[in-house]
Structure 1
Amino acid sequence: MTNMRAAFYDSYGDIDDVLRVGELPDPRVGPGEALIEVRAAAINPVDWKVIAGGLDALMEVRFPVVPGWDVAGVVRAVGPDTPEVAVGDHVLAYARKDWVQAGTFAEFVSVPVRAIARKPAEMSWEEAAALPLAGQTAARTLRERLAVADGDIVLVHNAAGGVGRMGVQLARILGARTVIGTASQRHHDRLREFGVTPVVYGDGLADRVREIAPEGVDVVADFVGGVYDASQAVLAEEGRYASIAEHDVPRIEDAIVWVRPDGAQLQWLADLAGEGRLQIDIVRVFDGLEEAGAALRANQEGHGGGKVVLRVSED
């Protein structure tokens, strides 16, 4: 077995203290899996939260850990019984497995084919890497759990965040009549370009939403947390609510969303992006595995404006 270069850590801690770049064994490629040569990997808040031990109570962790769950790249090998993909295919995936270990901040990653979609030629590697987790979280919330349909009035919290930007666009694609998005003032112009009515968050939010939707909203998608009371105050009778972040409110367990790897769903999103119907905003691209720590810190600082992407290799 040969070795690949990867960013990895051997224990929980601060990014600067524990993350390093070195050699690890190439991933094994089991039945129903493909080996992807990584072109780009996107950064998500869960990546630096995992490094700090934030998922230790929820998922098994096997050190050393390579961070990253988003990937775009080229198939270099396939395992047994893998007719869905072939060597040379350009693909993207939400590469989370059932335990935390072999992530995407590496030269290679093995991914179950059930998580893989084909990259449209119109998408850059960086755009493709930025889509999986954020896009699938938005799709699972709005398309599957909330079943947004023609004529709905939809409120999206944290509409300028990575998931929120996808969510407001998907709400329009799914037929929403009105999409209201909470965001700081500096993001309002971009949200208007998506066909969103932006509102600032904070005190008085419910009143501001009611000015736009006096009868209340049909759907609330919470992508930030801490807005449960405001959401209930504007939700119409028989309205639908879901959250990816609200874990401290009683009796809403059925409303919590945790995204799953789903290649068919990801293909739907990728095709929308390839057609130009779904825009992927990228705020910054870092070059090379040595910049993995800097990329994680940039996401952690949360300046907004789009996704942070790590470019791992070139064509």
Structure 2
Amino acid sequence: MSAQSKQALADGGRAVRLDSFGGPEVLDVREVPAPQAGPGQVRVRVTAAGLNPMDWIMTADADTAARFGLTLPAGFGTDYAGVVDQVGDGVTGFAPGDRVFGGALSRAVADFVVVDAAGTTAADEAHHTPDGVDDRTAATLTIAGRTASAALAEIGLGPDDTVLIGGAGGGVGVFAVQLARIAGARVIGTGSAASAAHLRDLGSEPVVYGDGLADRVRALAPGGVTAALDLHGVETVRVARELGVPDRRIRTIAAQVDGVAAANGANAAPGALEEIAGLVAAGRLRVPVAAGFPVEQIRRAAELQAGRHVRGKVVIDLQGPADL
């Protein structure tokens, strides 16, 4: 990219915007002025943004958006990775050229994001990207990685556990399965029959969801199941209870079930995200990217992600390595 083109990009850039709440059809790519880093902030030139279910859930209607503090016009996407290109007054620990990843609540799918350098609020933060972790992978870590880490910490998995994970092949599931295995637990993961190879590749023993799930799990684990995560709905909660798992060792991430707590990634332990990135860098945790799209195809990407049948993560590519 020429110096003139880089200056033009620094003055403005693309961002996904929506003027009304709704589905993928309300998403548009627009040219907008580039945000400027204020005191305590850094500006990041985004190279990749990872999509999560919460992105379309919280922008689907006005009432849900309000619970997240979103107003119109709004942006889209939270997970990002890129390169610091502007540092505000008082910032230490970051310099232009540093590779970073993190969260920028409902504004990550853009050429530039401005975030709090101190990272005191989840989804308004930057973390150094370790060597050995590419930007596409780094852009998938924040929401799903934190959510999986928080859920597993709350049920306290160890080598003596057999955990049932519902929706094991999805965006949070790919982290939950591997982190549970790293903790030493045996993992049984639910999915479709077609996802069995994918689930095995992650380190889980696959089982098909739907009618008869409890019997299939009993056949796989005659010694019993000791913990459960439901990453999709309530079926896994129901089956876990039927198998004798106490509510205190069951977690959901979205569905509300009386007696069962829902895990929140914002409550992940300090340093959890850095630990996950370190596991990726060390080759101990792998994040499958199911599909990548240029930002101009944001509607197609959001439709695929919202279908909830993606095996892994969906990533939006904003700039390639040659542009850095």
Structure 2-normalised TM-score?
Answer: 0.87
Cα distance in 2 for residues equivalent to 1:237 and 1:36: 44
Cα distance in 2 for residues equivalent to 1:26 and 1:153: 49
Give the match for residue 88 of structure 2: 79
1:259 pairs with 2:265: yes
Identity %: 37
1:291 pairs with 2:297: yes
Match of 1:164 among 168, 173, 190: 173
**CA 1:290–1:74 in structure 2 vs 1: closer, same or farther (change >3 Å)?**
same
Q: Which amino acid aligns with 2:135?
A: W
**CA 1:239–1:152 in structure 2 vs 1: closer, same or farther (change >3 Å)?**
farther
Long gaps (5+) in structure 2: 1-9, 120-124
1:197 pairs with 2:201: no
Cα distance in 2 for residues equivalent to 1:149 and 1:79: 43
Match of 1:70 among 79, 90, 96: 79
Residue 64 of structure 2 aligns to a residue whose secondary structure is: coil
Q: CA offset at residue 236 of structure 1?
A: 3.6
Q: How does 1:240-255 map to 2 (within 5 A)?
A: 240-247=249-256, 249-252=257-260, 255=261
Q: CA offset at residue 215 of structure 1?
A: 4.1
Q: CA offset at residue 2 of structure 1?
A: 4.2
Cα distance in 2 for residues equivalent to 1:52 and 1:108: 24
Match of 2:69 among 60, 63, 81: 60
Q: CA offset at residue 167 of structure 1?
A: 0.5
Give the match for residue 306 of structure 1: 312
| CA deviation vs aligned residue, 1:156-208 (integer Å, no higher than 9, x gap) | 110111111111100011121x1111111111112222331111111111122
Q: Which amino acid aligns with 1:310?
A: I
Match of 2:131 among 91, 96, 121: 121
Match of 1:137 among 141, 147, 156: 147
Match of 1:44 among 31, 45, 52: 52
Give the match for residue 98 of structure 2: 89
Cα distance in 1 for residues equivalent to 2:165 and 2:43: 36
Give the match for residue 5 of structure 1: 14
Cα distance in 2 for residues equivalent to 1:20 and 1:57: 21
**CA 1:258–1:31 in structure 2 vs 1: closer, same or farther (change >3 Å)?**
farther
Cα distance in 1 for residues equivalent to 2:246 and 2:173: 24
Long gaps (5+) in structure 1: none
Structure 1-normalised TM-score?
Answer: 0.89
Q: How does 1:25-36 map to 2 (within 5 A)?
A: 25-36=33-44
Cα distance in 2 for residues equivalent to 1:148 and 1:82: 38
**RMSD value, Cα:** 2.1
Q: Which amino acid aligns with 2:193?
A: Q
Q: Which amino acid aligns with 1:7?
A: V
Cα distance in 1 for residues equivalent to 2:267 and 2:87: 18
Q: Which amino acid aligns with 1:243?
A: T
Q: CA offset at residue 261 of structure 1?
A: 8.2
Residue 198 of structure 2 aligns to a residue whose secondary structure is: helix
Aligned length: 303
Q: CA offset at residue 85 of structure 1?
A: 2.0
Cα distance in 2 for residues equivalent to 1:160 and 1:200: 12
Q: CA offset at residue 22 of structure 1?
A: 1.6
Cα distance in 1 for residues equivalent to 2:223 and 2:140: 36
**CA 1:197–1:35 in structure 2 vs 1: closer, same or farther (change >3 Å)?**
same
Do the aligned partners of 1:180 and 1:197 also contact (CA within 8 Å) in 2?
Answer: yes
Give the match for residue 7 of structure 2: none
Q: CA offset at residue 51 of structure 1?
A: 2.9
Do the aligned partners of 1:38 and 1:109 also contact (CA within 8 Å) in 2?
Answer: yes
- Structure with bigger strand share is 1
Cα distance in 1 for residues equivalent to 2:245 and 2:29: 51
Do the aligned partners of 2:150 and 2:267 also contact (CA within 8 Å) in 1?
Answer: no
Structure 1 ranges of 4+ moved more than 6 A: none
Cα distance in 2 for residues equivalent to 1:309 and 1:106: 13
Do the aligned partners of 1:219 and 1:235 also contact (CA within 8 Å) in 2?
Answer: no
Match of 1:217 among 218, 222, 225: 225
Q: Which amino acid aligns with 2:108?
A: T
